[in-house]
Amino acid sequence: MARVIAVINQKGGTGKTTTAVNLSAYLAALGKRVLLVDFDPQGNASSGLGHHHNLEDLSIYHGLIGQTEPEKLIRGSAVMNLHYIPANNHLAGALIELVSAENREYFLRRFLNNLRHQYHYIFIDLPPSLSLLTVNGMVASDEVLIPVQAEYYSLEGLSQLLETIYLIQNNLAHPLKITGALITMYDKREKLSREVTKEIRRHFRHHVFESEIPRAVALAEAPSFGKPIILYNSSSPGAIAYQRLAREIIEQEKQMSEVERGFGNFNIRI
């Protein structure tokens, strides 16, 4: 049964999609079956895996509203064991369609419930905003992974995101766990990066991953070639950092039982 992890930060530019794509790729390379669900209307995670967008193609939008079966949306990638479901601009229309729908927060959860048994991990790349799509993504997940850029504005955004997570936990009675915060765009040469990192590690009440994702040219270039960093430049510092992160995620498996991960709590509320 898959661990469903939403990669989320309400602030843009934190390395959210970069993390979703590259962490998924490295977990797949380590032998795990992984599904990446692009749930951002911009479709950047899909592009990062080499997907060529066409508005006539089926996307997560069509699965969300029940127009097609989940299996018809799954695409293979250039990385063995890594599949993805693409997104496109149609997904923005779902915001309007879901507003008046009954149990509107549970559409993605119902959709993914049909796929959980096929994978070890399902990652959801969420949009950098708070909307009904974001809420659907969090309710569909067991856990959230939070990329945090090594700058002071990110600390403010982190507090706001935690408030949103607590609202989901309390108002929707959903036992959403925090997998951890991931420090991104880190530059050990800059005093600001070092200070912000120290503050996060000192004051964040939840887990902070040991891996720190550097500010790296290769990570910025890889999406333009439609490749995760493992295929674009596997010896680069960014690639090494994401490989370490993947191993940290796997190591968590040894520290959590299935009950602790909340697998028994994925029943659909109607």
**CATH code (residue 220):** 3.40.50.300
Domain-located, residue 268: no
Beta-sheet strand order (sheet of 82-85): 75-76, 82-85, 34-38, 121-125, 3-7, 143-149, 177-186, 208-214
Residue with tokens 């008046």: 100
CA atoms of 46 and 49, how far apart (whole Å): 5
Q: What is the mean pLDDT of residues 122-149?
A: 95
Distance separating alpha carbons of residues 201 and 261, to the nearest angstrom: 23
Question: Residue 124 has what pLDDT?
Answer: 98
In a domain, 217, yes or no: yes
Has residue 212 been placed in a domain?
yes
Torsion of CA 44, 49, 55, 60, to 10 degrees: -80
Q: Which two tokens stand for residue 71?
A: 């299996």
**Number of separate domains in the chain:** 1
- 13 closest CA partner among 134, 136, 127: 127
pLDDT of 267: 44
How far is 107 from 97, CA to CA, in rounded Å? 11
CA distance linking residue 44 with residue 50, whole number of Å: 10
- State pLDDT tens for residues 211-255: 999 999 999 999 999 999 999 999 999 999 999 999 999 998 877
Domain hosting 22: range is: 3-261
Report yes or no on 267 lying in a domain: no
92 alpha-carbon distance from chain centroid: 18
> In this structure, which amino acid lies at residue 186?
Y
Classify residue 270: in a domain, yes or no. no
pTM for the whole structure = 0.91
76-93 pLDDT, tens digit each: 999 999 999 999 988 988
CA-to-CA dists, residue 14 to 17, 18, 64, angstroms: 8, 9, 26
Model confidence pLDDT, tens digit, residues 166-205: 999 999 999 999 999 999 999 989 999 999 999 999 989 9
Provide φ and ψ at 99, rounded to 5°: -55, -45
Which residues touch 104 (CB under 8 Å, ≥6 apart)? Answer: 98, 132, 136
191 lies in some domain:
yes
**Torsion angle of C-alpha atoms 232, 234, 235, 240, degrees rounded to 10:** 130
Residue 265 pLDDT greater than 70, yes or no: no
